[in-house]
Amino acid sequence: MANNNDDEYNQFLQTHQLQLIFNNIPRHLYRRLYEKMKNEIFDSGSYFQLCPIDDDDELEKPYNPERRYYVSTLRDVVLDPEKDENAIFLIDHAWTYRIKDARNDLYSISNLYERMTSLMNINSDLKEDGIELILQRMWKFNQSYTLTSTQIDPQLDTEVAQEPYWYIMDELGSSIRHSDTNANVYCTSFFFEPTQTMFTLLYPIVRIEQPYSEIFRNFVYDNSSTLDRNIKLLPWQRVNYRKKVLRSLTIEHCPEIFTKKLQNNTEIFEECHKNDLYDRSTILIEPTKFDKDHILKVYTDQDLIKQYLTDQHYQLIDNYGQADIIFLKKQIQDFRFETLHNTLINQFPFENIITNKELLALVSRRWKSLYSSSAVENDPYIDSHESPPWLPTTFVLTYELPQFAVYFQYREDQKIDNTWIVKPINLTRSIDVSVTNLIDTVIRLPESGSKIACKYVSTPVLLKIPDIEGGEVKFDVRYILLLRSIRPLKLYVHKIFWLRIANKPFSMKQLDNS
């Protein structure tokens, strides 16, 4: 029996090695952590308690005004992160969701609404108003983790995609307050593969020995600049403090924040294709000419192409080096002529400058300095930002979070529409896309992956559809382009295109349903 336990434990160490190292979990806690997750041992009640917050409490008062309780140790508890092998605890999750499902969850999951209003200290006579407050306030409690599509469904035969989830810890975990200077525990999410369960782990980072010691954590562990860190902490600050901070950073008071032109930072572009191999000098290639009876050899890893490419002029082969056409789902990194010769491929060097939303936004912003007239913009922030008139104002939140936050406050003070669409830089099918007018939401969304924030088009051209109640809906037209050559530039447009029409009338009232 002991051997079986040791085998299972060793398998746990092997399977979860990256998580254990990434989360800096002390090695002497590994076995007890395994035992607690395997047997779902939630023993934090023997070590910690919830205490009501005193209105006169001045410690860390600017933070967490929505919290009704704080967490402290019990009287005789001593937690030593260096020696105590039991000093790691599981915190349960009260609510796990995807942003697009949050509103419906609050209506449909039994007792969830009541639990969230109690946890977030919300008093509302109407459930609809209470739900709106929860959707606003949840960003002060949210935590995030990401699963791959294969983790969600191991049988799924599609390209691996990242699926972000947000969650709110139980009452104990959600009552832990922030401290810049007094943090004594660390909290992190941990995926236990044998049961496919996500836990939050809590463990001390300093020795805790005083009776009834309050438990603090640091909401923003970040090695970035002090300014970036202060902006990331704003969701937990009182609104008046947030406005004061951002109004002190305006373009008039701190112009140096807005003088750096991110689109000229070549390191960002180089990082994205640092592993690519390509010809350093231009090689002029004469296209190969085939007679009409020639059979083109095709190498592909796409099942759909293998299934439907049945024309007699093509032959599917398994040898990459003998192909006339290479059509791959995975990214090609070796674009050298000595490797590809005259082979036709479905990718081109540095294509992520167009397909990556972050890089596309930065390249587009170069347009203004190259082609724009000297006409003065009405908006000093857009003029400083160098956004061309055809591109909605776009901030790369990895590098421009302070600039976004200041501009958001400026628009709020000017009473200008402040609705933004926040997109992951490299996901498809609208995964992890959010529309919001809440600054807390935009600041915290990058925790689930790199994001850009674009000014949302709040007055779009609409299509009137008599069969849809409310009538006017959003639409777009989808074309397929074939890039045949970059130099000289040759593009082909497929004669068949698609008109895509929304199935709900356009409204700016419920932005999570846009």
DSSP character string of 383-443: HHHT--TTS--EEEHHHHHHHHHHHHHHHHHTT----EEEEETT--TTTT-EEES-HHHHH
Smallest CA-to-CA distance from 140 within 166, 163, 160, 110 is with 166
Q: What is the mean pLDDT of residues 129-147?
A: 95
Inter-axis angle of helices 30-39 and 2-15, to 10 degrees? 100
The region of weakest confidence among 106-110, 159-163, 180-184, 263-267 is 159-163
pTM (two decimals): 0.89
Strand partners, 78: none
**pLDDT given at position 422:** 97
pLDDT of residue 375: 55
d(C-alpha 460, C-alpha 473), whole Å: 9
- For tokens 């989808």, name the residue: 478
For residues 143 and 189, the answer to whether their CB atoms sit within 8 Å is yes
Tokens standing for residue 451: 């994001």
Residue 385 pLDDT more than 90?
no
Q: Give pLDDT, residue 53.
A: 87
Q: Residue 302: its pLDDT value, please?
A: 93
User: Comparing 35-44, 172-181, 294-303, 483-492, which segment has the lowest mean pLDDT?
Assistant: 483-492
Q: Check whether 383 has a pLDDT greater than 60.
A: yes
The 3-state secondary structure of 215-262 reads CEECCCCCCCCHHHHHHHCHHHECHHHHHHHHHCCCCCCCHHHHCCCH
Give φ, ψ of 339 to 5 degrees: -95, -45
Spatial CA neighbour of 228 closest among 399, 462, 27: 399
Query: Residues 246, 248, 253, CA angle at the centre, nearest 5°?
Result: 125
User: In the prediction, which pLDDT does 243 show?
Assistant: 96
Higher confidence at residue 210 or residue 331?
Answer: 210
Stretch among 98-112, 175-189, 479-493 having the lowest mean pLDDT: 479-493
pLDDT of residue 37: 97
C-alpha 260: how far from its chain's center? 25
Q: Identify the pLDDT of residue 3.
A: 64
Q: Report, as an integer, the average pLDDT of 215-242.
A: 90
| Cβ-contact 120, 175 below 8 angstroms | no
Yes or no: say if 100 and 91 are a contact pair by the CB < 8 Å rule.
no
Rounded CA-CA distance 87/214 in Å is 16
Secondary structure element (H or E) that encloses residue 163, with its range: strand 162-169
What pLDDT does 508 receive? 92
Pairing of strands 69-73, 48-52: antiparallel
- pLDDT tens digits, one per residue of 460-480: 999 998 888 778 999 999 999
Any idea which of 45-49, 59-63, 481-485 has the lowest mean pLDDT?
59-63
Structure confidence at residue 428 (pLDDT): 81
Question: What integer pLDDT is reported at residue 111 of this predicted model?
Answer: 97
- Which residue bears the tokens 């382009």? 481
8, 250, 383, 454 from 380: Cα distances, Å:
62, 10, 5, 17
**Counting Cβ atoms within 10 Å, is residue 430 exposed (0-12), middle (13-18) or buried (19+)?**
exposed
For the residues 280-300, what does the mean pLDDT come to? 85
Retrieve residue 96's tokens. 């796990």
Q: How confident is the model at residue 5 (pLDDT cuts 50, 70, 90)?
A: confident
pLDDT at 261: 87
Phi, psi of 341 (to 5 degrees): 55, -125
Indicate if the pLDDT at residue 153 is higher than 60.
no
One-letter amino acid at 279 equals D
Give the chain's mean pLDDT.
90
Assign 374 a pLDDT band (cuts: 50, 70, 90). low
Task: Read off the pLDDT of residues 427-447 as tens digits, 9 standing for 90 and up.
Answer: 887 889 999 999 999 999 999
State the Cα–Cα distance between residues 193 and 198, nearest whole angstrom. 9
Q: How much is the pLDDT for 147?
A: 79
Q: What mean pLDDT is predicted for residues 479-500? A: 90
Q: What is the pLDDT of residue 291?
A: 85
The answer to whether residue 486 scores a pLDDT higher than 80 is: no
- Supply the pLDDT for residue 97: 96
Name the β-bridge partners of 72: 49, 214
Q: Which among 357, 359, 307, 299 has a CA at the least distance from the CA of 330?
A: 299
SS3 285: coil
3-class secondary-structure state, position 294: coil
Question: Mean per-residue pLDDT for 66-88?
Answer: 93
Residue in this structure with the two tokens 């397929």, named with its chain if needed: 480
Rounded Cα gap, residues 402 and 418, in angstroms:
16
pLDDT of 377 above 70: no
If we measure between CA atoms, which residue out of 193, 183, 251, 281 comes closest to residue 411? 251
Phi, psi of 38 (to 5 degrees): -60, -45
pLDDT of residue 429: 78
pLDDT at 371: 77
Report whether pLDDT(215) > 80. Answer: yes
| Predicted confidence (pLDDT) at residue 20 exceeds the cutoff of 90 | yes
Task: Please give the residue that has the higher pLDDT: either 323 or 63.
Answer: 323
Average pLDDT of the segment spanning 190-216: 96
Burial class (CB in 10 A: 0-12, 13-18, 19+), 90: buried
- Please determine, for residue 62, whether its predicted confidence score (pLDDT) is greater than 70: no
Going by pLDDT thresholds of 50, 70 and 90, the confidence category of residue 273 is confident
**Which domains can be identified in the chain, with CATH numbers?**
1-224 (2.170.270.10), 277-349 (no CATH)
Question: From CA 136, how far away is CA 155, in angstroms rounded?
Answer: 36
